Chains A and B, each alone.
Chain A
Amino acid sequence: LNIMSLMKKQVHYPMLARLAVGQTLMVNQLVDMEWKFGVTVGTSELQKVGNIFLQLKLVIRKGNSTENVYMELTLPQFYNFLHEMERAKASIDCFS
């Protein structure tokens, strides 16, 4: 009987630990990301344009509700963003 209860503790402990960590405070947690990109064809100032734009929508959890943050990036900004996020991932991977 002692061995059985020991095994039960070993099976459940990692899961319990993960649940507890999952409940740890996160500030402005990123919940979802949506995106679209397209081409600007014309504006009121310029009849013919051909700029690629990228639009991101970030869904952020603030307390009990979520907030949407919209922004637009140019292509160079997008590549820079991607590069920085890859660096962040490399940094976070050092700790696993």
Chain B
Amino acid sequence: MAVLTEEHFSAFQMLLKAPSKDAVRQLCKDSFPSGAPESRQLIERAAATLSVSAGEAQRLLLALHTLSHHILFHSLVAPEQILALFPEAFHPSLKNLLTKILLEQSPTWRSEALANQISLPRLLEMDWRVDMKTASDSVSRMAVPTCLVHMKQVQHSQATPTLDSLSSVTVELSRETLDTMLDGLGRIRDQLSVVAGK
């Protein structure tokens, strides 16, 4: 995680050339995702909006990215905490505007970070169906109920954020297996309520 330096704050001066407060807000939002400071498209757009060179625009995006991630990591939720990050001589209205925008965006960014954290494949959807087996090659007449459960999972990839890999599995359970599974799930629920009660 990059450390906030004087250089980052001097890059913010470029925002004084922004055409509107919304343009600043948009830049803050666009610079947040990982990989944003390297995006050619984004650099060109920022350079055009602020009438600066591509190199300067990239410096700014990197600075915004570092600042927003620093605030998110340390969970800085009070305006004073964010204002304290800026150097003494920093432009006061720009400082207030940035603080306001970053505070506004923090809850969204926090839920995004939580949703995208590394984890095992996450359950997306789950369906079930109960069938009645009436015949097979070993028994010509029977009436055996069986349960089929279909689960869809998604694995988020940090490297390619737009390509989440979906997988699915269908599982067959006999009555006994379903009972045993429910036993296990019931135990989990009991343990969860103990933890929640503490």
A48 proximal to B (CB < 8 A): yes
A residues at B contact (CB < 8 Å): 17, 20-21, 23-30, 33, 35, 37, 40, 43-49, 51-55, 58, 60, 69-75, 77-82, 84-89, 91-92, 95-96
Chain B residue, CB-CB nearest to A26: B172
Q: How far is the CB of B8 from the nearest CB of chain A, in Å?
A: 18
Q: Are B188 and A37 in contact (CB under 8 A)?
A: yes
Q: Are B123 and A81 in contact (CB under 8 A)?
A: yes
Q: Are B188 and A60 in contact (CB under 8 A)?
A: no
Q: Are B123 and A73 in contact (CB under 8 A)?
A: yes
Q: How far is the CB of A49 from the nearest CB of chain B, in Å?
A: 7
SS of A interface (majority): mixed
Q: Are A82 and B192 in contact (CB under 8 A)?
A: no
A74 to B175 CA separation, bound complex (whole angstroms): 26
9 pairs of A and B residues whose beta carbons are closest in the complex = A45-B113, A24-B136, A95-B145, A72-B120, A91-B130, A20-B139, A20-B138, A92-B145, A88-B128
Given contacts A17-B139, A72-B122, 13 further A-B contacts (CB under 8 A): A24-B133, A24-B139, A24-B144, A30-B149, A30-B172, A43-B118, A58-B169, A70-B120, A72-B119, A73-B122, A74-B122, A82-B189, A92-B146
B residues at A contact (CB < 8 Å): 1, 69, 72-75, 110, 113-114, 117-123, 126, 128, 130, 132-133, 136-139, 142-147, 149, 151, 153, 169-175, 177-182, 184-186, 188-189, 191-192, 195
A77 neighbours in B (Cβ, 8 Å): 123
Q: How far is the CB of B160 from the nearest CB of chain A, in Å?
A: 18
Of A17, A37, A46, A81, the contact of B114 (CB 8 Å cutoff): A46
A27 to B114 CA separation, bound complex (whole angstroms): 36
Given contacts A51-B114, A72-B123, contact A85 B139 (CB under 8 A): no
Given contacts A51-B114, A60-B171, contact A37 B191 (CB under 8 A): yes
Q: Are B182 and A48 in contact (CB under 8 A)?
A: no
A66 to B185 CA separation, bound complex (whole angstroms): 22
Q: Are A25 and B121 in contact (CB under 8 A)?
A: no
Provide 19 A-B residue pairs closer than 8 Å at the C-beta atoms, listed in order of the A residue: A23-B138, A28-B169, A28-B172, A30-B172, A33-B184, A37-B188, A43-B117, A46-B75, A60-B171, A71-B121, A72-B122, A75-B192, A81-B123, A85-B181, A87-B128, A89-B179, A92-B130, A92-B146, A95-B145
Q: How far is the CB of A30 from the nearest CB of chain B, in Å?
A: 5
Q: Are B73 and A45 in contact (CB under 8 A)?
A: yes
Of A23, A46, A58, A75, the contact of B73 (CB 8 Å cutoff): A46
B177 neighbours in A (Cβ, 8 Å): 29-30
A95 to B130 CA separation, bound complex (whole angstroms): 10
Q: Are A84 and B128 in contact (CB under 8 A)?
A: yes
